[in-house]
Amino acid sequence: MEKALALIFSFVVFVIGLAFLITGRVAVGLLLFAVALLLAFLAFRRQERVVVEQKIEIGGDIRSQLLQCRNCGAELKRDAMEVKLGAVFISCPYCRSSYQLEEEPKW
């Protein structure tokens, strides 16, 4: 709602600026145009960013175990895990290999 109001307000300022332009006061008209643009810009900028966050939920067994890279055997930190398309992916920072973590890993 706040965004719509700001847009309406910026439109009103724009129309007033247009009126000033038509009546010959170009400087005032352009200034009001600038204000209108700024208001519209701010209205769009205020839009809150929707952060989609997926929490990695893995069974307790894995949580307590040490994560090891399947490719090079390096110790992997928790942030090497990534959830993509509902599956857990591991990306190794050492050998740069990435693979999907299976439901029940055998380690």
CA atoms within 13 A on the CB side of 95: 13
Enumerate binding residues for Zn ion (CB under 5 A). 69, 71-72, 74, 92, 94-95
- Least distance CB 51 / Zn ion (angstroms): 29
Measured from the CB atom, the residue of 12 and 72 that comes closer to Zn ion is 72
How big is the chain, counted in residues?
A: 107
Q: Report residue 57 as tokens.
A: 């939920």
47: phi then psi, degrees, rounded to nearest 5: -50, 125
Q: How far is the CB of 80 from Zn ion (least distance, A)?
A: 9
Per-residue tokens: 27? 């400087």
Nearer to Zn ion, 41 or 75 (CB): 75
Rounded to a whole number of angstroms, the minimum distance from the CB of residue 100 to Zn ion is 14
